[in-house]
Amino acid sequence: MRISLILTALGAAIVQAAYPGDIVQYWVDQSAILVNGSIIGGLSSPPSGWFEAIVQGAVYIAALDSRSEALAFQQLAVSHAAHDSLVWIFHGTRLYATVDSKLKAVLAPIGINQSSVDYQRATNIGQKAAVNITRARSDDGINYFVDYIQQPAIPGVYEQTPGGSPIPDTPQARYLRLFGGLGDVTRFRAPPPPSINSSGYEDFLLYVKQQGARNSTFRRSYDTETAYFWRESSPIGWNRLAHGVVGNSLATDVVASAKFYAQLNYALANAAIAAWDAKFFYNTWRPVTAIRRTDIWLPSGRNVSDPTWTPLLTPTPSHQEYLSTHATFGGAAAAVIRNWNGGDAINITQSSNVTLDNIGVITRRITNLSEAAKENGDSRVFGGVGDSVGRETLRLFDENWAKF
């Protein structure tokens, strides 16, 4: 009887010796902290989706390969997968010690003795998972040189934005291989933006000129906050929104959590690639370029020139306006979360991690995923950096989320 009680107590201790939260969410959060930190200081849109998809891909492989093991074992395996893939992505930077510290922080809560056979087995599974995913992505095109040839400065054509880079960001990103083996990205290409010769385009431009100006007297206070709230990197913000929806419900189901976050981050990465395909195919200018142009170029003969016009959000991103990456990120993420959630209705409170212009942290209650995605796209209009928010692509991503 006494032996039975001891064994029962030991069994309970083993079950309890695991990280108490969702280990997959932990690594999503630590990845975001690394990117937003002082060493990296943020990434442009395609790499911000690309890197997290690689990490979560490795985590999912490790979760599948360890699914028959105890919870703590699974947590250790996916932690090593996340660690090694992060080191591969950011090799050559000073993040090695930081990534090591993120792994070290969870070793004690996971509770597997580092000298044990189980520790080594779990480590091997995680290491192999990271090797598999990083090897698969090592020739995906992210490192290739693609020369951008600046076109003549005629109305509608992209030009360097004030304070921006001489050439648009990451021109090679339009050729990145889609995650999940989806084939040629051009089959998801968005339809053309409104022609600058159309009345519809003139309406767009006048709207953003009014609403997006730094000192706009037309923009509502709520819409000003919308621009600031969604200024944060969309993959980071939407992953955090997903945490609010999922909560701790998958903490003890590592495979299910890893699958969800792999789907979410594959969708986000593919959204950026699809947006970049459209950006470089259509090569459209930013509102600040159109508004500061000094000649009369609209077919209506209206003079919209204001050489001193400044958008609320500065600097304007160093890449083409159409297609809005914020809109595509939001459409893709909302569709994946909606599928898991079983509908649009949610009830979470979320704060933005970006503060600008002496505006403090903005906190909002979010109750509808589709409305959140729409607001994410609209925020670029209120920020003065976009005038067409990708409604067609929001529809496309909503209807085809599973493909992404």
Q: How far apart are CA 197 and CA 219, in angstroms?
A: 26
Under a CB-based contact definition with an 8 Å cutoff, are residues 186 and 366 in contact? Answer: no
Whole-number pLDDT of residue 400: 52
Same domain membership, residue 320 and residue 190 = yes
Q: Is residue 160 part of a domain?
A: no
CA 19 to chain centre: 26
Picking from 115, 179, 104, 113, the residue whose alpha carbon sits closest to that of residue 141 is 179
Whole-number pLDDT of residue 39: 54
Q: Is residue 164 part of a domain?
A: no
Q: Is residue 146 part of a domain?
A: no
Q: Is residue 378 part of a domain?
A: yes
Same domain membership, residue 179 and residue 84 = no
Picking from 178, 339, 380, the residue whose alpha carbon sits closest to that of residue 274 is 178
Under a CB-based contact definition with an 8 Å cutoff, are residues 146 and 172 in contact? Answer: yes
Half-sphere exposure of 253 (CA within 13 A, CB side): 10
Q: Classify residue 213 by its DSSP letter.
A: B
Whole-number pLDDT of residue 44: 83
Same domain membership, residue 393 and residue 256 = yes
CA 260 to chain centre: 15
Same domain membership, residue 338 and residue 252 = yes
Whole-number pLDDT of residue 37: 64
Burial class (CB in 10 A: 0-12, 13-18, 19+), 74: buried
> Which H or E element spans position 340?
helix 325-341
Q: Is residue 374 part of a domain?
A: yes
Whole-number pLDDT of residue 359: 86
Enclosing domain of residue 354: 171-403
Whole-number pLDDT of residue 356: 80
Choose one of 85, 117, 137: the last residue of a domain: 137
Count structural domains, the chain: 2
Same domain membership, residue 217 and residue 80 = no
Same domain membership, residue 212 and residue 112 = no
Same domain membership, residue 280 and residue 343 = yes
Cα dihedral 68/72/74/78 (nearest 10): 180
Q: Is residue 233 part of a domain?
A: yes
Picking from 226, 232, 212, 211, the residue whose alpha carbon sits closest to that of residue 42 is 232
Q: Is residue 158 part of a domain?
A: no
Q: Is residue 162 part of a domain?
A: no
- CATH number of the domain that residue 218 is part of: 1.10.606.20
Whole-number pLDDT of residue 95: 83
Half-sphere exposure of 248 (CA within 13 A, CB side): 3
Same domain membership, residue 340 and residue 195 = yes
What's the average pLDDT block by block, 10 residues per block, for the chain (404 residues)? 44 61 97 72 84 97 98 98 96 84 97 97 98 96 94 95 92 95 91 89 93 96 96 93 98 98 97 96 96 95 96 94 93 96 97 83 96 94 78 49 46
> Which H or E element spans position 396?
helix 391-399
Same domain membership, residue 124 and residue 179 = no
Classified as helix, coil or strand, 330 is helix
- Residue 397: which residues within 8 A CB-CB, separation 6 or more? 267, 271, 328, 331, 332, 335, 404
User: pTM here?
Assistant: 0.92
Same domain membership, residue 87 and residue 210 = no
Which residues are bridge partners to 351 per DSSP? 363
> Which H or E element spans position 367?
strand 363-368
Same domain membership, residue 194 and residue 294 = yes
Amino acid occupying residue 315: P
Q: Which residue has the tokens 């290409």?
A: 189
Same domain membership, residue 187 and residue 124 = no
